[in-house]
Amino acid sequence: MDVKKALLDRKSTRAFVDKEVPIEVINAIIEQAKTAPSGVNSQPWQIAVVTGNSKTKLCDKMEKAFRAGKKGAMDYDYYPTEWVDDYKERRKVCGLLMYSTLEISREDKQKQLDQWALNYQAFGAPVMLLFFIDKVMEKGSYMDYGMFLQSIMLSAIEHGLATCPQAALGEYPEIVREELCYSQDKVLLCGMAIGYEDKSAIVNSYRTPREELDKIVRYFP
């Protein structure tokens, strides 16, 4: 598969078919992704591959916490406290696109909540990846990690799989650390749903827009 096709085919997928992914395939994807560059080759990635009963148990705990109204708190600030300017608008469009595709109205808070709750089940994907980094690592390593995450998503495409990167899976880090026995020295960055796309699901039918080059690039000839 060429890079262009993988880049264009990748999208956040929020419904999966009930089909297991062989662990060999997950390992092959991580093998490829770990070739990602990192400052001084520090390779800051530490991955939990969560499937089967372990996934069910952990996901149920996170969903239960969410439905009980327990406010999630990530280990680090992924989003700004206040959304401003273009970011505010893009965030709005992002949400609107999904809810309008699903025909969930602005007023229907219960349906919105139920849709959001699917996050904690990794959208029903058979595999949930959770990404940790050592607390001692700095911002630069977070940048390295992003390259690793995109590499996972592109390699997944080559293996016929779909993904959704999920900050939501990092909202209850204490539950995750306790359930999977990770120490406090590990920061939970985010998670990722991975599996075979349910192509009949409406939620997977839309694509998100991107800005034109003249909005994001300045040329200095």
Ligand X SMILES: Cc1cc2nc3c(=O)[nH]c(=O)nc-3n(C[C@H](O)[C@H](O)[C@H](O)COP(=O)(O)O)c2cc1C
For residues 203 and 73, what is the distance between their CA atoms, to the nearest angstrom? 26
If the CB atoms of residues 149 and 221 are measured against ligand X, the closer one turns out to be 149
Q: How far is CA 71 from CA 64, 65, 77, 135, in A?
A: 11, 8, 14, 22
Contact between 132 and 182 (Cβ < 8 Å): yes
Classify residue 35 by its DSSP letter. T
Binding mask 16-45 for ligand X (x = CB under 6 A): ------------------------------
List 16, 50, 66, 119, residue binding ligand X (CB under 6 A): 119
Burial class (CB in 10 A: 0-12, 13-18, 19+), 158: middle
Residue 130 found at the interface with ligand X (CB under 6 A): no
List 11, 34, 55, 61, residue binding ligand X (CB under 6 A): 11
Q: How far is CA 2 from CA 76, 148, 150, 151, in A?
A: 35, 18, 15, 13
Residue 208 found at the interface with ligand X (CB under 6 A): yes
Residue 151 found at the interface with ligand X (CB under 6 A): no
Tell the smallest beta-carbon distance from residue 183 to ligand X (Å): 23
List 127, 166, 197, 198, residue binding ligand X (CB under 6 A): 166
For residues 13 and 198, what is the distance between their CA atoms, to the nearest angstrom? 8
Contact between 148 and 36 (Cβ < 8 Å): yes
If the CB atoms of residues 157 and 168 are measured against ligand X, the closer one turns out to be 168
Classify residue 20 by its DSSP letter. -
List 44, 126, 165, 173, residue binding ligand X (CB under 6 A): 165
List 1, 8, 94, 202, residue binding ligand X (CB under 6 A): 94
Binding mask 186-205 for ligand X (x = CB under 6 A): ----x---------------
Q: Under the rule (CB under 6 A), what is the footprint of ligand X? A: 11-12, 14, 94, 119, 164-168, 190, 208
